Amino acid sequence: MNLLVTFFIIVCLGIVGVAWVGIFVDQMTSPFTSLLIAFPMLFATIWLAWKVAVKVTEPKSPTNA
């Protein structure tokens, strides 16, 4: 459950960032260019969020003392 919550939070933050980049590019160029940039960034955000969430919630291995 911890993994899913972490993933959801990271994805939400990433989507906000993608939206800001998309809006900025849309104002500077065209909506089509914005789509070409924001769409792959969205998929990259989901992929990267999963990798980070798995790494962050990874159980710590016990050390033998």
Q: What is the per-residue pLDDT across 10-20, written as a single tens digit (0 to 9) for each?
A: 999 999 999 99
Residue 62 placed within a domain:
no
Residue 24 placed within a domain:
yes
Tell me how many domains the chain contains.
1
Which amino acid appears at position 63 of this protein? T
Residue 49 placed within a domain:
yes
**Could you tell me the pTM of the whole model?**
0.81
| Token representation of residue 19 | 């939206």
Residue 35 placed within a domain:
yes
Residue 34 placed within a domain:
yes
pLDDT in the model for residue 65: 56
Closest CA to 14 of 52, 55, 45: 45
Closest CA to 45 of 5, 7, 3, 1: 7
Residue 43 placed within a domain:
yes
pLDDT in the model for residue 64: 63
Residue 20 placed within a domain:
yes
Q: Which residues of the chain have pLDDT under 70?
A: 64-65
Per the structure, the complete domain to which residue 29 belongs is given by 2-55
Contact between residue 18 and residue 42 where contact means Cβ atoms under 8 Å apart: yes
pLDDT in the model for residue 49: 96
